[in-house]
Amino acid sequence: MKLRKQFTAGYEGTSGPSPDTTLMTQPDMTMSIRDLLDRHSRGLPLTTNQRTGEYFDTEIPRFYDLTDMLKYKQELMDRNKSINNLIKDEKKAAKQRENENLKKTEDLQTSDKNETLVN
């Protein structure tokens, strides 16, 4: 088997894959570097998607000792239990209020029926 290279006499080459010619850019969306730097220096938006970070109120602690990390884990677990208990209590209270409201509406409906029967 003879190896063919571009410098071999009589080598005419092979057809490679044709490139994809679809355009992904839209017309009139280009800006020169001068415009970009000018807008940046003046604090103007660059008409691109600017992503900002999300910052939360909770501080993420750094641990230098394993026991501190375990204490913090226990605190988080205790806080989680107390929040879950609070949610359960609120659900019970909401269900109880709903039952009371349902009972009141049933009482009103029965009293209305009794009044119509009497009249």
Q: Could you tell me the pTM of the whole model? A: 0.42
Residue 90 has pLDDT above 80, yes or no: yes
Residue 59 has pLDDT above 70, yes or no: yes
pLDDT confidence of 118, banded at 50, 70, 90? low
Residue 100 has pLDDT above 80, yes or no: yes
Residue 4 DSSP label: P
Selected residue with higher pLDDT from 60 and 88: 88
Q: What is the pLDDT of residue 95?
A: 95
Residue with tokens 């679809």: 22
Contact 4, 11 (CB under 8 A): yes
Contact 50, 44 (CB under 8 A): no
DSSP letters, 13-61, are ----PPPP------TT----HHHHHHHHHHT---SSPPP-----SSPPP
Residue 119 has pLDDT above 60, yes or no: no
Q: What angle do CA 75, 79, 82 make, to 5 degrees?
A: 140
Residue 117 has pLDDT above 70, yes or no: no
